[in-house]
Structure 1
Amino acid sequence: MEAIAIHPENPEQLKTIKAVLKALKVPFESQNLTLPPHVLKGIEKGIEQYEKGETITLNKFKEKHFSKK
């Protein structure tokens, strides 16, 4: 049988989806998806840099990280 992954955008959608699945007697498993701490720190750092205006263009990023040396 095929399985699907559902990505609700808010708690209300999640509650509704669970209610529908229960009403249809469709078995499901809940999984809490959390990112590793080092990934969360990287995201925080990126947001802080953006808010400070510390950004570069995509082309400059490519030059910095993908240029042949």
Structure 2
Amino acid sequence: MESITIYPKNEKQKSLLKSLLEELKVRFEVAEIENPLLSEEDFYAKIDKSIAQSEAGKTKTLSKEKQKELLGL
């Protein structure tokens, strides 16, 4: 069976979804997640940080064998 992950925007949405799932007798669990999505500003900041690390030579090189192992090929 597949599972569905839902990220309600506020407490009202969360409460409504919980009520609906309970009414439908759907098994579910609630887990706290700090912030599942990056803001656009954080996203670009992360990219900029990675570019700066690359320009500073802080990169790792993986052998072909290690690449295949990590990718499951």
Question: TM-score when scaled to structure 2?
Answer: 0.49
The letter for the 1-side match of 2:54 is F
Cα distance in 2, alignment partners of residues 19 and 12 from structure 1: 11
Question: Which residue, out of 54, 67, 72, partners 1:66?
Answer: 54
| Structure 1 residue 15, shift from structure 2 partner | 0.2
Structure 1, unaligned runs of 5 or more: 36-55
SS in 2 for 1:9: coil
Cα–Cα, structure 1 residues 17 and 59, in superposed 2: closer, same or farther, change >3 Å?
closer
Structure 2, unaligned runs of 5 or more: 36-44, 58-73
Cα–Cα, structure 1 residues 22 and 66, in superposed 2: closer, same or farther, change >3 Å?
same
SS in 2 for 1:66: helix
| Structure 1 residue 61, shift from structure 2 partner | 6.7
Q: Percent identity?
A: 32
> How many residues end up aligned between the 2 structures?
47
| Structure 1 residue 68, shift from structure 2 partner | 6.3
The letter for the 1-side match of 2:19 is A
Q: Larger RCO: Structure 1 or Structure 2 (Cα < 8 Å, ≥ 6 residues apart)?
A: 2
Cα distance in 2, alignment partners of residues 33 and 6 from structure 1: 11
Cα distance in 2, alignment partners of residues 32 and 19 from structure 1: 18
Question: TM-score when scaled to structure 1?
Answer: 0.52
